[in-house]
Homo-oligomer: A and B are copies of this chain.
């Protein structure tokens, strides 16, 4: 039951004082001592977050909520120092404190983060600090050495770990669900086909793949479309797995897995494809990526880039960037054009399937949660919580629109080897 305290609006700390701002009210029975200990700090936290409809419960049992709507979930903050840290650097400390178990979310973690992200978007959009952060956000370049360290950090955690929650083909990118109720295995295969159809692959085509993960797309293209693939990756663990699969399936004459950076691609290719690599490239290197594509793509060649993106340039979440994905940056469409426009590459088709990534992540999180004990055995509790937050936070990022998923199809300026319409993508296979 809400126990609404009658508190004057102007006693709130400074924030975006719009007339419709809801009051943060203490809703429990903890009394005066709680108010003294956490009240002011919690109000400031709600201000920073743009007044999302969530409840906060402190270490002493006192509870707070926005007066406007029913809370979506409840954030438990287990000690005073945790609350202070959260206020000092919320985007980073939320992840740190959650991983350490010093804060917890009661209710659906992804739904909690979805409403928080939506409210943060408004704060960011309107605030000066947000604009400054956006200006500074994109300046990061990954040298080849730095790229290698970053990729090792994430992808060389161990194939056994990823096997616990990815599909059987180890596809670690957004799936494509032909119907919203499709399962993960079907949707990952459908994604591979969606990409291949968009590339209009023909038997005998030479394909360059930049950032091939565990090799699922390269093997799928060779197996089902009869093409020859040179697939590049700088994660040794992934490549060992991919090469073993190519041998086991007798595809090693048609798929060459090369341990090298995209900048090292050599040859001429009928198709260039990159699925889930651009996030690790860094905007400063988009020129180098475009130059690579321009250097290796045949005159009639087609290209596809599949990447996490944003509606507008913005900062990567600091915790994700430091703890999960060093060097990662999801670009906006204007930033993606920096790869293509200087080389006169011609955009034919852009599709945004962000809700498919939310669904993919829901499937991953379900399997991850079911295997939490095995993850704990491999690592520890902090790791289990950190990756749970990463997966749930990513669901929320895609459902709230903080992240997008773009597939961009392009060819060379003036090449008229184009499909007449996009029907061919949606026609049943012959």
Chain A residues in the interface with B (C-beta under 8 A): 118, 121, 125, 176-180, 311-313, 332-334, 337-338, 340-342, 344-353, 355, 399-402, 404, 406, 413-416, 418, 420-423, 425-426
CB nearest to A352 among chain B residues: B348
Complex: A205 Cα to B355 Cα, angstroms: 24
Q: A346-B404, A347-B352, A349-B352 are in contact. Are A337 and B332 (CB under 8 A)?
A: yes
Question: Are A338 and B334 also in contact (CB < 8 A) when A311-B413, A414-B401, A418-B355 are?
Answer: yes
CB of B313 within 8 A of CB of A341, answer yes
Residue in contact with A420 in the complex, picked from B313, B342, B344, B355, CB distance below 8 Å: B355
Q: List the 5 closest A-B pairs by CB distance, nearest first.
A: A401-B414, A350-B350, A334-B337, A312-B341, A426-B426
C-alpha gap A418/B351 in the complex (Å): 12
Docked pose: A180 CA to B421 CA in angstroms: 9
Which chain B residues border A348 with CB–CB below 8 Å? 351-352
| Neighbouring B residues of A406 by C-beta, 8 Å | 347
Write 13 A-B pairs (CB below 8 A) sorted by A numbering. Answer: A118-B414, A125-B344, A312-B344, A332-B341, A333-B337, A333-B341, A337-B337, A347-B406, A350-B350, A353-B421, A355-B416, A401-B414, A401-B416
| Minimal beta-carbon separation of A256 from chain B (angstroms) | 32
Whether A400 pairs with B426 at a CB distance below 8 angstroms is no
**Told that A311-B345, A347-B352 touch, could you supply 12 new A-B pairs with CB distance under 8 A?**
A118-B414, A180-B420, A311-B340, A311-B413, A333-B347, A334-B337, A334-B338, A346-B401, A349-B350, A351-B422, A422-B422, A422-B426
Per the bound structure, the CA–CA distance linking A415 and B178 in Å amounts to 21
Assuming the contacts A341-B332, A344-B121, asked whether A413 and B401 have C-beta atoms less than 8 A apart, the reply is yes
> By CB atoms of chain B within 10 A, which of A344, A399, A402, A422 has the most?
A344
Query: What separation, in Å, do the CA atoms of A422 and B355 have in the docked complex?
Result: 13
Q: Are B422 and A312 in contact, CB atoms less than 8 angstroms apart?
A: no
Cβ–Cβ contact B420 & A401, under 8 A? no
User: Residue of B at shortest CB range from A399?
Assistant: B416
Q: Residue of B at shortest CB range from A180?
A: B420
Contact A312 B401 (CB under 8 A): no
CB contact between A426 and one of B177, B399, B418, B423 (< 8 Å): that residue = B423
* Chain B contacts for A420, CB-based, 8 A: 177, 179-180, 355
Contacts of A346 in B (CB 8 A): 311, 352, 401, 404
Task: Report the bound CA distance from A347 to B400 in whole Å.
Answer: 15
The answer to whether A334 and B344 have CB atoms under 8 Å apart is no
Compute how far the CA of A400 lies from the CA of B313 in the bound complex, rounded to whole angstroms. 32
Q: How far is the CA of A313 from the CA of B406 in the complex (A)?
A: 22
